[in-house]
Structure formats: structure tokens, C-alpha cells
Structure 1
């Protein structure tokens, strides 16, 4: 059966002084999932294990992201994380610091639910 996307949420995270892409990415993912709730699981009895979670994180240096660690930190579903070039680096010439901004898109998928629901 084909998976159907049931939700997509976006988030942003940053690390202002450590230039830590991993920390910024984790914060972006947390920001995205804070904006959503999926009551479908409680109301239908579906297991969270049936949900596939696909996360895309954008940072200026994707090679510095441990995608497995980010996936392990997700609270529900079978998760994969992909890091791509994106986000922002914002240098501060006065201090030499670089603020790192990461963006994240968190998508959740279930197998097709077509025909499994009836209007009351």
C-alpha cells in the first residue's frame, strides 16, 4: 500500500555562540513537533509504530549533522533524518562568533486510510 502524508510541520532552531549545527538542528526539529498533535492514534487505536516519520534538516554544513542521533531523539514512529544544505550562518565581525540557524521539515506518513473511515 502507498503511504499518505498525514502531517507536515516546519521548525527553526539556532545556536548563537557555539556554531553547533547538531544543537541547532535538534532545536529546529523540537520546534516543528511542538506545533503538532496527532489525535488520530488515540481516537482510532492505531499504533505509533505504523507511522513513518521523515525529517529534512537544512544547515550550511550538512556533514556536521549526526542524522542517526537526531532520528533516535524523535518521540514517535519509524524515523529517518536527512541533512541538506540550507539554514543560515550569521557571522558577527565584532566577536568572531557565528550564529547558526537550522530549519526542519517533519513529515508523518501512514499507509492509505482510504475507505477505513465513515462520517458519523
Structure 2
């Protein structure tokens, strides 16, 4: 048996006023996951917890992201989180705050023949 890439899900999340990278990252992953109902594991006779999910988040200030908070979003399987510099930061008019935009990619792998 070998791990095979089965699904790629993508999403976008924001923190409109708080400029909090973790909040934007969590929302991006939720956006990627919550628009789908994956039946691939059960279609292959596997438990949904057999899925391995590789999450990549692109967000400004990646070093500030709580990776465990992002990982906790996954409803099934086991996962890893990689955070990279990306996304978008848009300052407000006064320069006193900003909106953060994060992108998420979740790749689902299953061990199949």
C-alpha cells in the first residue's frame, strides 16, 4: 500500500479588524473544508480517520500563527500544518489597524493499493 493524493481543497479566511494571523488561518482552513463532504475514504472501505491531511497556510506574519489551533480544525484524520509567508495585509485609512487575508490548501492522502 502507498499514500496517494486524493483531494485538494482550497480556502480563504480573513480577520477584518484584528490583524490576527491565527484567526485568518483558521477561517481559511474552515472555508476549504466546510464546503465539501468527502466520501472518498468510505468509498474505498476506509475509516475517515485514516486520512492524512497536509495543510499549508499562506498568511502575513506566519511566525505568529498557532499551528495547533489550525490543526484543531480538522474533523477527521491526522494532519500537519505548514505556515508560509503569503496572503495579504491591507492597512486601514489611519494606519492604526489592518485586515489580514490568509489562504489555505489542504491535501488529503489515503493509503491505497
TM-score by length of 1: 0.86
Gaps of 5+ in 1: 114-120
Give the structure with the higher percent strand.
2
Q: How big is the alpha-carbon RMSD for the aligned residues of Structure 1 and Structure 2?
A: 1.5
* Structure-2 change in CA distance of 1:93 and 1:15 (3 Å): same
Gaps of 5+ in 2: none
How many matched pairs? 113
Say if 2:64 is the partner of 1:64. Answer: yes
- Residues 50-86 of structure 1, C-alpha deviations (whole Å, 9 max, x = no match): 1100100011111001112211221011111111000
The answer to whether the 8 Å contact 2:42/2:48 transfers is: no
Write the distance in 2 (CA, Å) between the matches of 1:105 and 1:31. 10
From the CA coordinates, give the structure whose radius of gyration is larger.
1
The answer to whether the 8 Å contact 1:72/1:79 transfers is: no
TM-score by length of 2: 0.91
